[in-house]
Amino acid sequence: MSALYDLTVKDRSGNDVSLRDYEGKVLLIVNTATGCGFTPHYDPLEAMYKDLRDKGFEILDFPCNQFANQAPGDAEEIHSFCTMKFGTEFPQFAKIDVNGDNADPLFAYLAKEKPFAGFGKGIKNAAFKKFADMNNKSFGDKAYIQWNFTKFLVDREGRVVARFEPTTDMADVRKAVEELLG
């Protein structure tokens, strides 16, 4: 049994949700923000969710305001933005911290299972890393997540099998999800 399923998170209303509720499903767990340059990732995420949820796929969305204050609203404002602008239907949870002393245990666990391995190659990604490092320097060894829209892929047994930084092409994320679903 995976330790992932022992964790509990909060829904948008602050109620406890056991990750055991998602046992046996393929999960894509994402920290998000409404005012980020990667916010358009909601479109391919929602398309993937609509196409694959009947095959046992779930996306778990965790808004986070730790990266340049790009998710400033409360839970309902964020949810309204996502549903009206992107038509999102996948579960969105309470806004959390993913870094620092108050990091949600879920993201600390995910990042320990699949640590940061870089944003990829190229000048653009190197420049982005410098920007992210400036933001995250105050978290020291508790800078688990480097930026918004980091995605963790979890198999049906609760194993964290992949980590996708926001710079990863969403087509590659979808391909990995589809391969895992069989």
| Tally of CB atoms within 10 A around 16 | 8
- Distance from first CA to last CA of the chain, Å, rounded? 21
CA atoms within 13 A on the CB side of 170: 14
Q: Which of 182, 180, 177, 163 is nearest to 47 (CA)?
A: 177
Cβ proximity of 113 and 107 under 8 Å: no
> Of 36, 82, 153, 154, which residue is the catalytic one?
36
* Catalytic site includes residue 64: no
Mind giving me the DSSP string for 115-136?
Answer: ----S-SSHHHHHHHHHHHHHH
Cite the active site residues.
36
